[in-house]
Structure 1
Amino acid sequence: MAISADAIRGYIDVLVLSLLRTNPSYAYELAQRITAISGDEYAIKQTTLYSAVKRLEASGLVNSSAGVSPSGKPRTYYSITDAGLIHFDVKVEEWRNTKSVVDRFINGTIEGGTP
């Protein structure tokens, strides 16, 4: 079952930052990796991805640099900044807390007992 864009919208930045923690990448490669890691359950639109990396760059969470592909084609590579690493950790903790709260509703339980 495919994941809707609405369900994942607030966590696109986390996906991108997560991938950039290991090494710099360019937008097309990021899109391919997101699809592959999701097991083909989520395919990010190029416009969504470009908006995300531009937003992350404007916020100082990623840097961009000009590069060249092995075939000689110019590419823009993105890398995570120290601020991006800190932001990633904060957003991961936020996700864990959010998931915990939603899970309580899905499972029909509340902290300390049942509803």
Structure 2
Amino acid sequence: MERARTEWLRQLGFEQDVLRRDAGILFAVHSMQLNFRQPARFNDQLFVRSALHKMSGASMQFVQQVFKDETQLCEAMVKVACLNAETFRACPIPDFILTEMQCEC
């Protein structure tokens, strides 16, 4: 799920290492609620669907689903906080990122 959120950001044009270096921010999981439906097995090829559910000033919430073929294995509600890269304290999501994300919500 972490990789899927990273790819979601990348699709919007944001690389996390660049955000840390140039904007001084990073994103970290604050909390997660998981519902396991079926197990995955070793070497299963999995697909993760990520959708932005809602945003606030310093956080965003994703619905993420893990599939094997057409079978849903897991669903998660993931709250991600925007943090100052130096202090690791919550900070507002920069406007240039919010603008792109609001198109997705």
TM-score over 0.5 (shorter chain): no
Which has the greater radius of gyration? 1
Which structure features the higher share of helix residues?
1
* TM-score, normalization by structure 2: 0.28
Normalized per residue, the structure richer in strand is: 2
